[in-house]
């Protein structure tokens, strides 16, 4: 497994990462695979038979399954050993959280508690807070919830209105305000609550559920994730002891951002698994369903759908683990130097926050899009709640909204990248891409990826020159950032798929390498197509009318030429059906 010091965040746009140093899903070791298998068994053996009760919101069943998750060690996974936990590494945690899509509404309860509910206490809790709250949370005796979002603020988390005022005797804070969309609200014993002290200092608190003045609203009726518990909170003169401040007064943004960055990484892994499950459902059905005397998997348009689904799922998986690997390698390098502290851990997550945001966007849209594709493959049956794709479609939709909406993640990623450029830590100066070696525009995969990166740099420079770096923060220029984000995200996804395939090429051949190469080609084709579209959008706005065609011609000359894909699609679809919908992994 790769363990060298990773590159700087977002540097993939200006460099050519080594396949050997890239972490891929196939890199998981025996211990990590055992953990993933244990959670998968829990989902299959304990949760699946009771999914109807979970979906119906049966609190007794959910609490029982929650305790079984605690017995499995899920809630101890990220807790350091000196706090009584398992202290698993980032890759193991990523693998563990990949099961989220298999748990239905229970997944929100389990991982809402394990991640955003517990990690703030792990990272910022005092000894007394750890003893009082963290230990019961690890054992499943307490349920924790993360209370940040408010009516009217949405994704503008730092602009919350909930106010905390220190009492005259300095013993407690009096809190007033309201929260919305709080997962585990009705079940929680404690809340990680955010408020502004004196209306200015953004601060995190631990709030006990049964404190006077708390009112939990009725559970929301949700489109998907049926059975999950989501509700609002009203806080009226709620008294929180000063010893329940989490971290420091005025430093609550550290608690929130650390939790959200890690949350996006975990969500990407869960999304990737959901995407793979959608592919498996579609492929199995296509192999079994007969029309006109043949399995529908033999029809060209179904093959195109299945192969394109498989390519997006394969890229999603590669993207999630590549991003986890960057954080893992950074933390491993720090540990080797004896530099692991809370601050350095936060710095590692912040360094790769761009990649975390982009992975969250790509994988969530893949999961939701592939669930929709699975419904289409099922035809009329896909629209029935009697078949799995219907639940997948409903459950996947929220992943594009929570942990920061995809719009916010797109804007954040590009503002962070352009800020690095302005600061001199990332050189996006445009330069011509090296000519492809075959002279006809196909070239090797690394050459084509380099061409895409040259296009990004050209477009970024055009946007900055047209708008001005400071004006990019203005709302009216968000479309530019959105287009740049599409380009960067597609590059990251296509390159992740290629790096995975290239790394596996150095391992014993299982006879399926040509299929994986086809998956990477399909991911590349999607990237080129979407990048060309966004280039037209940007150049149409930033170029003089009489120069648009020549500007686009320059980009077209850089972008890779189309390659034949019909045989590749047929190959992938045929193999996928024979594999029962699951692309084989290659272990070390």
Is residue 495 annotated as part of the catalytic site, yes or no?
no
**pLDDT, mean of residues 471-477:** 84
Residue tagged active-site, from 403, 486, 495, 517? 403
Q: Which two tokens stand for residue 343?
A: 């601050």
Residue 71's contacts (CB-CB under 8 Å, 6 or more residues apart) are 140
Pairing, β 230-241 against β 201-208: unpaired
pLDDT at 309 over 60: yes
pLDDT at 465 over 60: yes
When mean pLDDT is compared across 1-10, 145-154, 384-393, the lowest value belongs to: 1-10
One-character DSSP codes across 177-196: EEEEEEETTTT-SEEEEEEE
Q: What is the DSSP letter of 221?
A: -
182 conformational bin, left if phi > 0, alpha if psi -120 to 50, beta if neither: beta
Considering just the CA atoms, what is the radius of gyration of the chain in Å? Answer: 24
When mean pLDDT is compared across 79-83, 264-268, 544-548, the lowest value belongs to: 544-548
The pLDDT of residue 5: 62
Report, in this order, helix, strand and coil percent for the chain, each rounded to 5. Answer: 60, 10, 30
- Give the Cβ contact number of residue 557 at 10 Å: 13
Q: Which two tokens stand for residue 97?
A: 């959280």
Instruction: For residues 330 and 44, give the distance between their C-alpha atoms in angstroms, rounded to a whole number.
Output: 34
- Give the Cβ contact number of residue 479 at 10 Å: 11
Instruction: For residues 478 and 472, give the distance between their C-alpha atoms in angstroms, rounded to a whole number.
Output: 7
What H or E segment, with its residue span, contains residue 204?
A: strand 201-208
Q: Which two tokens stand for residue 277?
A: 């499950």
The pLDDT of residue 517: 96
For 406-421, how does the pLDDT look when each residue is reduced to its tens digit (9 = 90+)? 999 999 999 999 999 9
> Residues 399, 405, 411, CA angle at the centre, nearest 5°?
135
pLDDT band with cut points at 50, 70 and 90 for residue 159: confident
3-state secondary structure of 425: coil
Query: Cα–Cα distances in Å, from 164 out to 148, 215, 419?
Result: 14, 17, 33
When mean pLDDT is compared across 92-96, 418-422, 472-476, 564-568, the lowest value belongs to: 472-476
Instruction: For residues 384 and 46, give the distance between their C-alpha atoms in angstroms, rounded to a whole number.
Output: 25
User: How many separate helices (H) and strands (E) can be counted in the chain?
Assistant: 19, 10
pLDDT at 193 over 80: yes
The pLDDT of residue 436: 57
Residue 539's contacts (CB-CB under 8 Å, 6 or more residues apart) are 459, 462, 548, 551, 552, 555
The pLDDT of residue 336: 87
**pLDDT, mean of residues 128-156:** 92
pLDDT band with cut points at 50, 70 and 90 for residue 10: very high
For 366-419, how does the pLDDT look when each residue is reduced to its tens digit (9 = 90+)? 999 999 999 999 999 999 999 999 999 999 999 999 888 999 999 999 999 999
Residue 574's contacts (CB-CB under 8 Å, 6 or more residues apart) are 297, 303
Which residue matches tokens 């990590």?
32
First to last CA, the chain: 9
The pLDDT of residue 435: 54
Pairing, β 144-147 against β 190-197: parallel
438: exposed, middle or buried (C-beta count within 10 Å: 0-12, 13-18, 19+)?
Answer: exposed
Mean pLDDT of the chain: 93
The pLDDT of residue 433: 55
The pLDDT of residue 434: 56
pLDDT band with cut points at 50, 70 and 90 for residue 152: confident
147 or 158, greater pLDDT: 147
The pLDDT of residue 3: 47
Under 8 Å between Cβ of 499 and 322: yes
Using the CB atoms, write b or e for 349-362: b if 16+ within 10 Å: bbbbbbbbbbbbbb
The pLDDT of residue 272: 97
Under 8 Å between Cβ of 294 and 122: no
Residue 221's contacts (CB-CB under 8 Å, 6 or more residues apart) are none
The pLDDT of residue 294: 97
pLDDT at 437 over 60: no
pLDDT at 1 over 70: no
When mean pLDDT is compared across 305-314, 498-507, 533-542, 558-567, the lowest value belongs to: 558-567
The pLDDT of residue 2: 44
When mean pLDDT is compared across 9-13, 61-65, 101-105, 478-482, the lowest value belongs to: 101-105
Q: Which two tokens stand for residue 547?
A: 């120069």
When mean pLDDT is compared across 110-119, 288-297, 437-446, the lowest value belongs to: 437-446
Sign, CA torsion 8/9/13/17: positive
Pairing, β 201-208 against β 245-246: antiparallel
**pLDDT, mean of residues 150-161:** 83
The pLDDT of residue 279: 98
**pLDDT, mean of residues 106-113:** 93
Sign, CA torsion 374/379/383/388: negative
Instruction: For residues 558 and 441, give the distance between their C-alpha atoms in angstroms, rounded to a whole number.
Output: 8
**Residues in a beta bridge with 173:** 166, 240
> Residues 393, 399, 403, CA angle at the centre, nearest 5°?
170
155 or 41, greater pLDDT: 41
């Amino acid at each position: 497994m790769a363990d060298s010091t990773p590159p700087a965040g977002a540097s993939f746009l200006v460099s050519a990462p080594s396949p050997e140093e890239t972490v891929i899903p196939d890199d998981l070791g025996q211990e990590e695979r055992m953990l993933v298998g244990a959670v998968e068994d829990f989902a299959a053996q304990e949760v699946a038979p009771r999914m109807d009760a979970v979906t119906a919101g049966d609190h007794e069943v959910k609490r029982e399954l929650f305790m079984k998750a605690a017995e499995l060690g899920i809630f101890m996974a990220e807790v350091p050993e000196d706090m009584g936990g398992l202290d698993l590494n980032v890759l193991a945690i990523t693998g563990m959280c990949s099961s989220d899509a298999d748990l239905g509404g229970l997944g929100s309860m389990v991982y809402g508690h394990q991640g955003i509910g517990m990690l703030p206490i792990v990272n910022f809790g005092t000894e007394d807070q750890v003893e009082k709250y963290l230990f019961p949370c690890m054992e499943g005796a307490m349920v924790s919830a993360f209370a940040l979002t408010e009516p009217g603020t949405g994704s503008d988390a730092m602009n919350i209105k909930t106010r905390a005022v220190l009492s005259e005797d300095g013993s407690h804070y009096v809190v007033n305000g309201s929260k919305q969309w709080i997962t585990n609200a009705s079940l929680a014993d404690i809340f990680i609550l955010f408020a502004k002290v004196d209306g200015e200092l953004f601060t995190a608190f631990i709030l006990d559920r049964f404190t006077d003045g708390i009112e939990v609203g009725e559970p929301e009726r949700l489109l998907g994730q049926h059975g999950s518990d989501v509700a609002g909170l009203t806080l009226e003169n709620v008294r929180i002891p000063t010893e329940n401040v989490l971290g420091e007064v005025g430093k609550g943004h550290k608690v929130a951002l650390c939790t959200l960055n890690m949350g996006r990484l975990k969500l990407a892994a869960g999304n990737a698994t959901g995407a793979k499950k959608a592919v498996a459902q579609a492929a199995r059905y296509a192999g079994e369903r007969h029309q006109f005397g043949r399995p529908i998997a033999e029809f060209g348009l179904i093959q195109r759908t299945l192969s394109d689904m498989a390519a997006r799922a394969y890229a999603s998986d590669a993207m999630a683990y590549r991003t986890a690997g960057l954080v893992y390698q950074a933390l491993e390098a720090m540990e080797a130097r004896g530099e692991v502290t809370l601050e350095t851990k936060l710095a590692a997550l912040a360094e790769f926050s761009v990649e975390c945001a982009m992975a969250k966007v790509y994988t969530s849209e893949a999961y939701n899009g592939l669930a929709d594709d699975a419904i289409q493959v099922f035809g009329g049956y896909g629209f029935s709640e009697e078949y799995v794709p219907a639940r997948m479609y409903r459950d996947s939709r929220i992943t594009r909204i929570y942990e920061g909406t995809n719009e916010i993640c797109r804007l954040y990623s590009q503002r962070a990248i352009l800020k690095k450029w302005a600061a001199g830590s990332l050189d996006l100066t445009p330069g011509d891409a090296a000519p492809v070696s075959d002279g006809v525009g196909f070239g090797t995969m690394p050459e084509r990826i380099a061409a895409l990166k040259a296009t990004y740099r050209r477009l970024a420079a055009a946007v900055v020159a047209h708008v001005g770096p400071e004006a990019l923060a203005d709302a009216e220029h968000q479309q530019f950032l959105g287009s740049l984000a599409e380009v960067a995200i597609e590059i990251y996804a296509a390159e992740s798929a290629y790096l995975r395939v290239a790394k596996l090429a150095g391992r014993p051949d299982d006879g399926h390498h040509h299929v994986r190469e086809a998956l990477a080609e399909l991911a590349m084709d999607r990237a080129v197509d979407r990048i060309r579209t966004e280039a037209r959008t940007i150049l149409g706005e930033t170029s003089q009318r009489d120069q648009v065609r020549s500007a686009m011609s320059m980009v077209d000359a850089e972008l890779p030429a189309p390659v034949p894909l019909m045989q590749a699609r047929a190959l992938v679809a045929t193999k996928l059906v024979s594999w029962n919908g699951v692309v084989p992994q290659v272990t070390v």
